[in-house]
Structure 1
Amino acid sequence: MSDLRDPSKIRVVFMGTPDVALPVLDALSNEGYQIIGVYTRRDRRAGRGRQMAESPVKTLALERGIPVFQPASLRSDEAARAKLIELNPDVIVVAAYGLFLPSEILELPPLGCLNIHPSLLPRHRGPSPVTTAILEGDAETGVSLMKLDEGMDSGPILAQRPSPIGEDENTESLTSRLFEIGSQLLIKILPDWADDKINAVPQDDSRVTITR
């Protein structure tokens, strides 16, 4: 593994797609981590003209000169998995990517696959944690930095940061704010995680709630 005392020697693969993931990629880049590849969803038709549009994460990665990969699947595409294995990352950071990571990839990086999830796990696992928190009238939500396993948002937690939900916040504004918080949390925690100073804590399965 690379020299973990120097961010520029830590090989990072970032996986994300929408604009809410941009602060995470931006923070990793600004901290000097060696971002060896960005994985994002494929270009899609969008807008009234149905023109092909690239994801916000792809746009930023190309602006920064970072190689971009857009497999349709990592589960069924053997060539895509082989390419990711060839990149040999020390850590994979995931923020609103949108594709399932098979066990072969989860086990690849020595520092694991770290995911930013916009809720205080184990509450609100699943695809719509922010909307559910608002609809259920939660006074508080937050961000969890977790190590992905083969379950749905069920991996052990490295760190969490709570945040109150503002009266005027909606799903879009709250999601954006939580990923901003998540980017700061990642940058704070990643050096200690890389230096083996943090133990990931298993989630309490008795407190799990699932969103749809």
Structure 2
Amino acid sequence: MTEKQRIVFAGTPEFARIILAELRQGPEAVVGVFTQPDRPAGRGRALQASPVKLEALAAGIPVFQPESCKTGEALELLRSLAPDLLIVVAYGQILPQAILALPTRGAINVHASLLPAWRGAAPIARAIAAGDKESGVAIMQMEAGLDSGPVLWEERVPIAP
């Protein structure tokens, strides 16, 4: 019997939560989640947890919320989880090469556009605002830089009027 792969997931918004929920149904083990720190929201400006944090806590997955992943502390947190694979979905931070190089099977990013179009934040809104006729989701091998690694897979979808 083969050992389950150890996945660390990094993401923040609802789009990322949906992917985390699906990963939890698979055969691999999600051993930790990185998400953005709780932020003030609403009229009362109360701290609000990200959708990814709420999903992880409900599943009993350890949650880490470093202000920056460019610190030795963040690297040590990731190292302690001994990941085989890092999956990043709309996390909200550019990860340093030391983080990307740590998982034994590398790091992949799920991005809500057809790369290289609309790198960075808000790719769906940017595609719609630009009048694009299609968009999609790309899975890419991560490297240092903003959504700049090789695309491994993509799914195209039309943008309806």
TM-score by length of 2: 0.94
Alignment of 1:73 with 2:68, yes or no, is: yes
The equivalent residue for 1:100 is: 94
Aligned residues: 160
The equivalent residue for 1:62 is: 57
In the TM superposition, what is the alpha-carbon distance from 1:124 to its structure 2 partner?
2.0
The equivalent residue for 1:160 is: 154
* Aligned 1:173-188 pairs, distance under 5 A: none
Alignment of 1:137 with 2:154, yes or no, is: no
Secondary structure in structure 2 of the residue aligned to 1:62: helix
Structure 1: distance between partners of 2:109 and 2:69: 16
The equivalent residue for 2:5 is: 10
Q: Which protein is richer in helix relative to its size? A: 1
Structure 2: distance between partners of 1:158 and 1:88: 24
- CA deviations over 1:13-57 (Å, ceiling 9, x no partner): 000111111111011101132011000010111111111111111
Structure 2: distance between partners of 1:48 and 1:155: 40
**Does the Cα contact within 8 Å between 2:135 and 2:158 map onto a contact in 1?**
yes
In the TM superposition, what is the alpha-carbon distance from 1:110 to its structure 2 partner?
2.1
The amino acid of 1:148's aligned partner reads M
Tell which deviates more after alignment, 135-144 or 117-126: 117-126
In the TM superposition, what is the alpha-carbon distance from 1:127 to its structure 2 partner?
2.2
Aligned residues: CA RMSD: 1.2
Gaps of 5+ in 2: none
Structure 1: distance between partners of 2:143 and 2:107: 8
Bigger Rg over Cα: 1
* Aligned 1:12-27 pairs, distance under 5 A: 12-27=7-22
Gaps of 5+ in 1: 168-212
Secondary structure in structure 1 of the residue aligned to 2:27: coil
- CA deviations over 1:59-95 (Å, ceiling 9, x no partner): 11010000000000011x2112111112110000111
The equivalent residue for 1:117 is: 111
Structure 1: distance between partners of 2:94 and 2:107: 12
Structure 2: distance between partners of 1:163 and 1:16: 23
**Does the Cα contact within 8 Å between 2:118 and 2:126 map onto a contact in 1?**
yes
Moved over 4 A (4+): none
Structure 1: distance between partners of 2:31 and 2:124: 30
